[in-house]
Amino acid sequence: MAVVPYKNKQEGKKEQVAEMFNNISKRYDLLNHVLSLGIDIIWRKKAIKLLQKDKPKLILDIATGTGDFAIEALALNPDKIIGVDISAGMLEEGRKKMKKRNLEHIIDLQMGDSEKLLFEDNKFDAVIVSFGVRNFETLEKGIADMYRVLKPGGKTVIVEFSKPKKFPMKQGYNFYFKYILPRIGKLVSKDDSAYTYLPESVQAFPDGNDFLEVLEKVGFKNTKCKPLTFGISSIYIGEK
C-alpha cells in the first residue's frame, strides 16, 4: 500500500502530497534548513556540480517546490531553467523568491505533474530533481516521463533521502527521524502529518541499487549512486 501523508483521507497520494505541501509551503524553507542543519544546501550544490562538464543550457527541475534546486542550477550558467510542481502553495513561495532575487527571466516556475509532463520529447539538456521522486504517486511513470523529455546524451541528476546502513549512523538517524524530526516539524509547520510522512516515505522508498534499477528499467544508461553524509541522502545519475 502507498505511504500517504493523511492516512484517514480518501484521496490518492498525489492529491494528498499536493495538499500537504500547500499546508507547509510557508514554513518549508525554514524547516528544511533547521531540520537538516543546513546540510540540504550542501547536498544540492554537490549534485549540481556533477553537471558542470555537460554545460546544459535548458534545464528542467521536477518537483521544484520553492525553487532551491533550480537556484543552485544557476551555477551551470544555463539559458533557462523551468521548474514544475503540483503544489500551488510551494510554487507561490518559489515565485516570490525569484521575484525578490530578480531571477524571473531565467527561472520559470510552472504547475506541472512529473507523471504527465506537458513538454515534447527530447527537449531538455538536463532533468534534475531534489527530494521529489519519493513523493511521486507512481515512481516508474514519473521517471519514464523524465527520460522522455530529456535529449539523447542528456543527464538526469536526482537527490533523495536514503537509508544509512551502518552503525551508529543507522541507529542515530532512525532515532532522529522517528522521534525528533516529527515533533519539531509538527510544532513549526502546524501540520500533524507532514513530518511523520517524511520518515515513513523514506523507509518505503527504493534507495541505492534498487533505485538504479528503476532508472535502468525506463532506459537510463551509465547509472551511478553517490551516497552523501553516511548515506542519509544519495545522488543518482543517469544518461539518455
Contact residues for ligand SAM, defined by CB under 6 A: 14, 17-18, 21, 62-65, 68-69, 84-87, 90, 113-115, 130-132, 135-136, 142
Query: Is 234 within any annotated ligand binding site?
Result: no
Question: Strand, coil or helix: what is 106?
Answer: coil
Residue nearest to ligand SAM (CB): 65
Query: Is 156 within any annotated ligand binding site?
Result: no
Whether the upstream peptide bond of residue 5 has omega within 30° of 0, thus cis, is no
Q: CB nearer to ligand SAM: give 202 or 225.
A: 202
Q: Are strands 107-111 and 124-130 parallel, antiparallel or unpaired?
A: unpaired
Q: Cα–Cα distances in Å, from 21 out to 47, 55, 231?
A: 23, 32, 25
In angstroms, give the least distance from the CB of 74 to ligand SAM.
Answer: 14
Phi first, then psi: give them for residue 85, nearest 5 degrees: -155, 155
Q: CB nearer to ligand SAM: give 63 or 171.
A: 63
Residue with cell 530529456: 150
In angstroms, give the least distance from the CB of 156 to ligand SAM.
Answer: 14
Query: Is 130 within any annotated ligand binding site?
Result: yes
| Distance separating alpha carbons of residues 163 and 140, to the nearest angstrom | 20
Q: CB nearer to ligand SAM: give 132 or 199.
A: 132
Query: Is 192 within any annotated ligand binding site?
Result: no
Q: CB nearer to ligand SAM: give 132 or 185.
A: 132
For the chain, the residue count is 240
In angstroms, give the least distance from the CB of 220 to ligand SAM.
Answer: 18
| Distance separating alpha carbons of residues 120 and 102, to the nearest angstrom | 28
Whether 99 contacts 136, CB under 8 Å? no
Q: CB nearer to ligand SAM: give 30 or 171.
A: 30
In angstroms, give the least distance from the CB of 150 to ligand SAM.
Answer: 16
In the annotated binding site for S-adenosyl-L-methionine, the residues are 66, 85, 113-114, 130
